[in-house]
Structure 1
């Protein structure tokens, strides 16, 4: 009996790979779908809540909720990498969900615009911790050979949920008003995400195994600190610098369209359902596309997808203005181009950063990259607010097209491939 007891208590051997860890990987995919669903609550309705419910007249003031979200999420991403040295990934994942509990209730019943902005501070912390941990844990599980596919599946789950929720909230707002019905579906995302996070196993043993198998030891025999990794990822390493600037501009586009597109297309006569379609289609294509593009990044390399994807996004902004006399067509074609372009870029950038970072400081490198990437939300909202207030919404879209094309050219100059294919 004692022999049987000892045998049953023997832990399973730790192995790297998607097939070997499919159950935990699948649970994390579902968790990240809940993460995306919570932020998807805001994509269609919140800019219109600012103008129509609270009477906010300045575009910059309307976009302040995105600035609050972007800054908070960016700094939480940075902190999340450092926190993995003190806490297990699972603990940080659960902490992120607990912080997100008040968000749907605040969005549904906030008595003033300041409450919406405050809710987005909590949402930024929630997203920074939960999304950072799901992507780190998936990369831990699969090992170096399948990073592109792992990040593609992670981001696909999140952004398909963002898009589906944006679409759903648009239709709910048409039938039941801007509040509270569209926002309360977020309660389901929080409850499911927290419950599943309790079940997920931590991946510390997988990180230890990859460290043991890695061909080169960490610099100095140990992992680099946050300050050293921040400097290396932000500017000292040419490829990591190229990834950071592309990530920043990519999310600048998302932040800009988050605030600008609902106002632009309602100004041209579209209703909430049509705006919800446009705002949903963009992240849906972004999400579903990453299932393929993540796999493709493992086969052809990261750089071709990143450069081409940024140029496709720039074309999406051009389409939005070129066809504005037919606003629904303009919105749909723009959303298609932006969604496909972002799907090409997103998993390839995360995989590229992982390729250039040693496992001992990879969490900090990813945190630094995600810091700069999500600063783009705040930068996009700030640029959009200032330009929209001074030059108009159309000029804001033109500026985004020029900046995105320039970022693609910088990526072509700075990035190098070091994938495990």
Structure 2
């Protein structure tokens, strides 16, 4: 770039667009499991207890949370691009392990690797986009990033449903995931460029903090960061319930694999499509109202799904959950970037994403226990209550963080 690197979406559009494509490949890796794996657990591996079925989400959530926690530090120490490439290398065996799995333990191992893959690659694309765009269009940038990832989740969930209907649960649906891993790795090695140098363009002075200080500040001490972290955890708690229990619920009620694939795709499709608009609106209106409203909408929609019966009512509920999640997802990331100093922002993003994806593990355990004891409908209803309460916590605790509105960083 003439005159050296510059911050901004337009100034870095080619590299930014490439990172959007790379994150679509990351989302596709997750999407390969959304429709097929819960059914594989029941129909191929004969797992009847919901707690056993959801073990793969528990394994995924824990490994992804841990990978997120270290991704920011690794990006600061070694650079963004090497961490991105490492994440793709870890993801390559995932579809093959599921295709060849003779027992459920192989699937658990595959999801440990998938969690590391998602933690390293998705965290890094988020950090790299924040590096490139600067503070002015941060919400829009996160909207593009998350939209690409979750539209790929939706498209892959839909396609794998049809592939499973036509060719069986294995191997056809997971060959798509293998293609995503190969393409993502190739783009990252050949075309992606390092962005760590852009941080110096935004940094004014230094705010040196230890890893422990950053974890405590992001998790508990800062009003806004702690509210964001708990909202992220609960958001992915309810997404883990949707991922693990919705296909089983729909199958029990007699829907076909193709219909289940459509319903499974509706949530991430609306989620993905809405995030660009939500991110842009958060740049204009502020972060807090979108996060609060999105969490409350998700809670109401989950209650609808728990009470509904039939393809159309469930499709409406899934779409409303997706809309609420779209309001929340890019906005939470933008809020973290608003508050954290550029010198420790990558690590703060990692801590936030640790809490957010730990929600998968919490959701898998709680949903499995409640579903085994009281049924799937009760598990979804309980998740609705927790999600609504999380929105109220944001309303009470979070301060507005959008640049230009003098963010309140008072520490409790």
Q: TM-score, normalised by structure 1?
A: 0.94
Q: How far apart are 1:299 and its partner, in Å?
A: 0.3
Alpha carbons 1:27, 1:200 under 8 Å: kept: yes
How far apart are 1:33 and its partner, in Å?
0.1
2:185 counterpart residue number: 194
Among 74, 86, 102, the residue aligned to 1:95:
86
2:200 maps to what in 1?
208
User: Is the 2:306–2:378 Cα contact (8 Å) retained in structure 1?
Assistant: no
Q: Distance in 2 between matches of 1:385 and 1:323?
A: 20
| CA contact 1:37–1:186 (8 Å) conserved in 2 | yes
Give the aligned CA root-mean-square deviation in angstroms: 1.1
How far off is 1:82 after superposition? 1.5
62, 70, 78: which one pairs with 1:79? 70
Which 5+ residue runs of structure 2 have no aligned equivalent? Answer: 405-412
Q: 1:124 aligns with which of 107, 115, 121?
A: 115
| Residue matched to 1:4 | none
Give the match for residue 219 of structure 2: 234
Offset, 1:259: 0.7
How far apart are 1:174 and its partner, in Å?
0.6
How many residue pairs match? The answer is: 403
Report 1:163-202 matches (<5 A): 163-198=154-189, 199-202=191-194
Q: Contact conserved, 2:65 with 2:358, CA < 8 A, in 1?
A: yes
Please show how residues 6-405 of structure 1 align to structure 2 within 5 Å: 13-198=4-189, 199-211=191-203, 214=204, 217-219=205-207, 223-324=208-309, 327-405=310-388
Residue 128 of structure 1: how far off its partner (Å) = 0.4
Contact 1:321 1:330 in 2 (8 A): no
Deviation at 1:420, TM superposition (A): 1.9
1:322 CA displacement: 2.7
Instruction: Work out the CA distance in 1 between the residues paired with 2:11 and 2:84.
Output: 22
* Alignment deviations for residues 161-204 of structure 1 (CA, whole Å, 9 cap, x no partner): 00100011011111111111011111110111011112111002
- 1:419 deviates by 1.3
Alpha carbons 2:76, 2:346 under 8 Å: kept: no
Alpha-carbon distance in 1 for matches of 2:331, 2:193: 26
Q: Secondary structure at the match of 1:41?
A: helix
How far off is 1:89 after superposition? Answer: 0.4
Larger Rg belongs to: 1
Native 8 Å contact 2:92 2:181 kept in 1: yes
For residues 317 and 86 of structure 1, what CA distance do their matches in structure 2 show? Answer: 41
Question: Residue 342 of structure 2: SS of its match in structure 1?
Answer: coil
2:398 counterpart of 1:415: yes
Paired position in structure 1 for 2:410: none
User: What's the CA shift for 1:323?
Assistant: 2.2
- Once the two structures are superposed, residues 191-224 of structure 1 have per-residue CA deviations (whole angstroms, 9 ceiling, x without a partner) of 110111121110022111111xx3xx333xxx32
Q: Normalised by the size of structure 2, how large is the TM-score?
A: 0.96
Partner Cα separation in structure 1 for residue 256 and residue 306 of structure 2: 18
- The whole-number CA distance in structure 2 between the counterparts of 1:258 and 1:12 is 47
Post-superposition, which runs of at least 4 consecutive aligned residues in structure 1 deviate over 4 A?
A: none
Tell which deviates more after alignment, 410-419 or 154-163.
410-419
| CA distance in 2 between partners of 1:11 and 1:289 (Å) | 35
Q: Do 2:307 and 2:377's aligned partners in 1 also have CA atoms closer than 8 Å?
A: no
Distance of 1:371 and 1:418 partners within structure 2? 21
